[in-house]
Amino acid sequence: MGSLEEKDLLVKIALTSQHVDEENPKLDISGTEAYLLTNCLENLDNPPRRFSKDLAMTDMLGNRYRMTVSNHHSEFPSRFLVNTDWSRFVHLHKLKEGDELGFYRLLDPDSGQTCCIVRPFKNPGNLELSSFSDDNQSMRILPSPENSVAPPDDMEPIPQTPLSVLTKTLTAQDTNPRDPVLYINASDAYTLTGRLEILNPTPIPSPMELVVFQGNWVYNMLLSYSSTNAYSISQDWGHLVTMHKLTAGDQIIFSRCPTSDGLGSSYKIEIVKREEPKIITQPLKPIDLNRGIPVPAYKLTKTLSVHQGNVIKLWFDVNEAWILTGCYRVLDDCPIGTLLMSLLAYDESDIPYDMALMHMKRDNGKVVCTLDAGWQRFVEHHGLKAGDKVTICNIKGKKYYTLEYTKAELPSGRGASGVGPGGSGQKGAEQS
């Protein structure tokens, strides 16, 4: 069952001092209100006949009540009293004058049965808080971090020893910014609430409100039966996701503890943010190797192209790779992705790049060789794009290579081709 909506509201009553009297609370309602609650037309008679009917009700905490609607004991026959468990409801929720009460009737789409939900709406003046959310009906307390406010008096402090603990790693669905809903299985829902009927949802359990503490903030969340062996947590869950910018991979830890009166449960939630992977980058510092003037043994110039949407690649056919490197492994029938050899290459500023020559399959299905690893760092450092040209040289008598690049000509005469810093601008014959 979903959240309570305005269309499901039967009656909303503003409570008076008589309704919440500490010694003898009495809730009296009109004949019209009695009709809306009981759906019995005789309550609209004038004068009304003697009437009494028991109603099974549930609050958002999952507590059940038997509310008797009758006009037997009313001083005025046209007024009806709601009693039996009314006193217990008042004291459990610590209702005060000025609070409001909403009675809802929900239709369970799975069973076709209706259930009556009773929910208090706390008057902000009774909470005595300096900061509130716009939606007072949700009883959320959302103080700003700079001006945190302690929970109100009617919120019991959470004991240090929890009855149960549930740890959940969030998924993208749990943190969907458009409609964040936390989904858990029946076993997790039982761990969270301790309610045995959750493990055998026949009939379907009533929705259960979870009063959740997180630091000095309090959230009202609603646990509802969602589908076979699945439950959802909604309402203020979305506010928690938004305020703490939760994403997939983050963890939440629910701790369930009894309230001091032993009639309900309170929950504490802890948030463990996912650790972002640490990217270790090495500064690109020129290195003076005193190599002298390199003499190329073989020079190859290629035009860069794009692979799989946005990856800039330098392709060689098998013969080019063999002539360039002298590595016979490139001629072997190796699996795609095989590391053939490592290359140490320097750009015009003597910055070194550890590259890898690998077998790869192009978008057209042809098996070729390509540079990987430090190649991407070279591309990003020099801002290379598809259409630019790179010349790679095998230096005679040395175990390293050099890299030069030439930018592609800009369209519409915006600029001419250029040579990378320190490069000679010489280009070898372009290979197909």
CA distances from 192 to 105, 165, 196, 320 (A): 26, 7, 11, 64
Nearest Cα to 335, choosing from 371, 315, 359?
359
| H-helix or E-strand spanning residue 90 | helix 86-92
Q: Specify the pairing of strand 339-346 against strand 401-406.
A: parallel
CB 233 within 8 A of CB 221: yes
DSSP annotation of 71: S
Q: What is the 3-state secondary structure (H, E, C) of 366-398?
A: CEEEEEEEHHHHHHHHHCCCCCCEEEEEEECCC
What one-character DSSP code corresponds to residue 419? B
Sign (positive or negative) of CA dihedral 63, 68, 73, 76: positive
- Owner of token pair 């709406």: 121
| Chain-centroid distance, C-alpha 245 | 8
Percentages (nearest 5) of helix, strand, coil residues in the chain: 20, 35, 45
Instruction: Output the tens digit of pLDDT for each of the chain's 432 residues.
Output: 446 677 788 888 888 998 898 888 888 888 888 888 887 776 666 666 777 787 778 877 777 777 888 876 656 666 788 887 888 888 888 888 888 888 888 765 555 556 777 888 876 655 433 233 333 333 333 333 333 334 444 444 444 577 888 899 998 888 888 788 898 888 888 888 888 777 776 677 778 888 788 876 778 888 888 776 688 898 888 888 888 888 888 999 999 887 665 656 778 899 998 876 655 555 555 544 555 555 556 778 888 877 655 567 777 777 777 777 777 677 776 777 777 778 788 888 888 888 877 777 666 667 778 777 778 888 888 888 888 888 888 877 677 788 888 887 765 544 434 444 334 333 333 332
H helical segments located in 93-249: 124-127, 186-193, 237-244
Residue 253: the pLDDT is: 92
State residue 422's pLDDT score. 37
What is the distance of C-alpha 416 from the center of its chain?
A: 49
Nearest one of 281, 280, 293, 279 to 381, comparing CA atoms: 281
- Note the pLDDT of residue 252: 92
